[in-house]
Chains A and B, each alone.
Chain A
Amino acid sequence: MFDFTLPSLGADMDEGKLIEWKVKPGDAVSKGQVVAIVDTSKAAVDVEIWQDGVVHELLIEPGERIPVGTVLATLLEPGEEAPPQGAARGGRQAGARAPAAPGAGAAETARLRISPAARKRAEALGVDLARLNGSGPGGAVTLADVEVAVQPGAPKAPEAAPAAHPAADRNAEMRRAIAAAMSRSKREIPHYYLSETIPMARAQNWLTQANEGRPITERLLMAVVQLKAVAAALAQYPEMNGFFRDGRFEPVQAAHIGVAISLRQGGLIAPALHDVGSKPLDQLMRELADLVKRTRAGSLRSSEMSDPTITVTNLGEQGVETVMGVIYPPQVALVGFGRIMERPWVEDGALVALPTVVASLAADHRVSDGHRGALFLAELRERLLRPEEL
């Protein structure tokens, strides 16, 4: 007999709500099989099991909200006899196994078996690997599985966010999740804040030129130029990019920038735009548009939720001049951009009116110091002054 517990599906996930069981007692399950759908307050996520077995007892009813680590079901090992009636363990006691410190000791989830080639291809094609059934040795997801999945007519996995959830509920949950994450951030992360005013005339001129002759749908936005500039600056200052976990900083080489996207119904999600540093602006623009669309449609991929290594928030559209953000744990920095507006500027001893933007940095003092933060912002300014190199 073994337990199936609620895994942590994101660093900030403390609890979830069971939406649906995909199995019933007596069903044989195999490693990698989706057995339940759980709402993490941001999205409905398929939850897989990591061990072969036979479902013995489902302990949690759909609709229940449970902390990470709660035993959702018990299973028999392949070939194991079912214990006599009454000997089954109750779910509530098992639920007490939920970790005391949310997030810190969350139940370890076994790693999905995915071949490196399948992983690479899936990323390129935007396929959610967690939804695939593996055909390789040991049930591993292979390259072929990924390619089959993107062919037209491929069996669709159930759409996320079933309509069964009234919007009001969702919003309340999201509010709670944001509250938890931001409280944790302000409780744990010693923030420091810096800002820098950056002349944007060159960037604007360059963007105007670059967009000349393009159809509206293919035009680049300044937001993409800014994201790319942030990624370029991160390459020089890796201590702004990564995670602070278990008392130490884990730098990440690729810049997976969480783009703060406000939702129409209220609330905020900052899903990852992957590998911003290594992608051309055109591709980033397409991906950003897609990301915004899917975020607002509630169909994000799990990796987009858990991968951001830094967050960029742009409140320029809302008219503010300066943003002082709150870092999204376990990230270690947040970059904010305000409105691009003409300000008086002294250039070569003369006072002129120039378009400028205030870029701000909120960074984790456990990982970096103000000196490095200042250098990072200076690097960001230099990058935005040379948009043609981005």
Chain B
Amino acid sequence: MRISYREAMRQALHDALASDPRVFLMGEDVGRYGGTYAVSKGFYDEFGPERIRDTPLSELGFVGAGIGAALGGMRPIVEVMTVNFSLLALDQIVNSAALLRHMSGGQVSVPLVIRMATGAGRQLAAQHSHSLENWYAHIPGIRVLAPATIADARGMLAPALADPDPVVMFEHAQLYNMEGKLPDNWQCDIERAAIRRPGSQLSLITYGGSLPKALDAAAELARDGIDVEVVDLRVLRPLDTETIAESVSRTHRAVIVDEGWRSGSLAAEVMARIVENCFYDLDAPPVRVCSEEVPIPYAKHMEGAALPQPAKIVAAVREVLNV
């Protein structure tokens, strides 16, 4: 069955709401409006305003309320419209959700799922194009997910809700319209990275909205006889070092693609783990393809130039392979 990423996410949310009365969805325009990205369209009528709860523009307030509701026995799914606005709720996510278990000496857990759109590519300019997954991936106490395929959009929410600790889920806005076949076995874990395309000469490691770009680049390289492996991190915290190291030990080379800015990026963390774990297997220095260090511009050609693109990925791979 071919469905869109949006539809896969919608089905996942529907399953969760229909199967567990403790689950409710809360956020800006999730209800009557149907969700900013139309992911929760129709839910308001089906599940009612209590469980499909429209909120005021109060990110700090409603994310905090989600944390409190999780403490109180519910399984809230809080939708923050985009990662840009999540900065208004950063205090509650970092100072409460991530810390309560530890500060209480293990007495309480916060079974909360926070979903947010992320990323650039739609000419939304500097304040609506952030890719700050690495900020959240820095924090002990939360799990960070980046579903980048139809199957992960369908499968990741259930284990995220089953996780007793806070889970932050990043949905790249460019992926919602992506269509593909939903495999029969879309159920998945939220532990491991996945090899999306096996290859022998180089590991192309990426996540989220950069995955389709990396796969495009790999396909183009394959036409020239260059055989590249594509690794989808999927889980940005805790990182699956084992899969990364296994792949790079085999291919001996790595290019990391990350829409975040290069300095202090997730790509930097991945590279550090490669060097820590695979130094003696490396046949060339690892290379990063990240966003240029500039706020994301509005003009289309400038925005495109600021972001990782298949052509940049191809060039980086060729540089590392010296071909």
Contacts and interface: CB of A to CB of B under 8 A. Distances in A.
* Contact present between A and B (CB < 8 A): yes
Interface of A: 115-120, 135-137, 140, 142-144
A120 to B, nearest CB: 5
Contacts of B284: 115, 136-137, 140, 142
Contacts, number: 34
Contact of B322 (A116, A120, A136): A136
Nearest to A137: B322
A154 B36 CA distance: 64
Contacts of B159: none
Given A142-B284, A143-B252, A116 B279 contact: yes
B319 interface: yes
Interface in B234-293: 252, 279-285
B281 A117 contact: yes
Given A137-B322, A143-B252, A117 B285 contact: no
Nearest to B319: A137
A136 B281 CA distance: 15
Interface footprint category on B: 10 to 19
Contacts of B69: none
Most chain B Cβ neighbours within 10 Å, of A116, A119, A143: A116
Contacts of B280: 116-117, 119-120
B313 to A, nearest CB: 16
A120 B281 contact: yes
Contacts of B285: 137
Contacts of A116: 279-283
A115 B202 CA distance: 14
Given A115-B282, A116-B281, A120-B281, 5 more contacts: A116-B280, A117-B283, A136-B284, A142-B322, A143-B252
Contacts of A143: 252, 283
The 3 A-B residue pairs with the shortest CB-CB distance, nearest first, are A115-B283, A117-B283, A143-B283
Interface of B: 252, 279-285, 319-320, 322
A149 to B, nearest CB: 15
A44 B320 CA distance: 34
Contacts of A117: 252, 280-283
A142 B284 CA distance: 8
A127 to B, nearest CB: 15
A135 B279 CA distance: 19
B271 to A, nearest CB: 14
Most chain B Cβ neighbours within 10 Å, of A118, A120, A137: A137
Contacts of B252: 115, 117, 143
14 contacts: A115-B282, A115-B283, A115-B284, A116-B281, A116-B282, A117-B280, A117-B282, A120-B280, A135-B322, A136-B284, A137-B320, A140-B284, A142-B284, A142-B322
Contacts of A142: 283-284, 322
A116 to B, nearest CB: 5
Contacts of B281: 116-117, 120
Most chain A Cβ neighbours within 10 Å, of B282, B283, B284, B322: B283
A133 to B, nearest CB: 13
Contacts of B279: 116
A329 B258 CA distance: 50
Contacts of A119: 280
Contacts of A140: 284
B283 A118 contact: yes
A143 B281 CA distance: 9
A118 B253 CA distance: 12
Contacts of A118: 283
A117 B254 CA distance: 13
A142 B319 CA distance: 14
A95 B261 CA distance: 51
Nearest to A144: B283
A116 B282 CA distance: 6
Contacts of B320: 137
A116 B285 CA distance: 9
Contacts of B283: 115-118, 136, 142-144
Nearest to A139: B322
A253 to B, nearest CB: 14
A140 B284 CA distance: 8
A137 B316 CA distance: 11
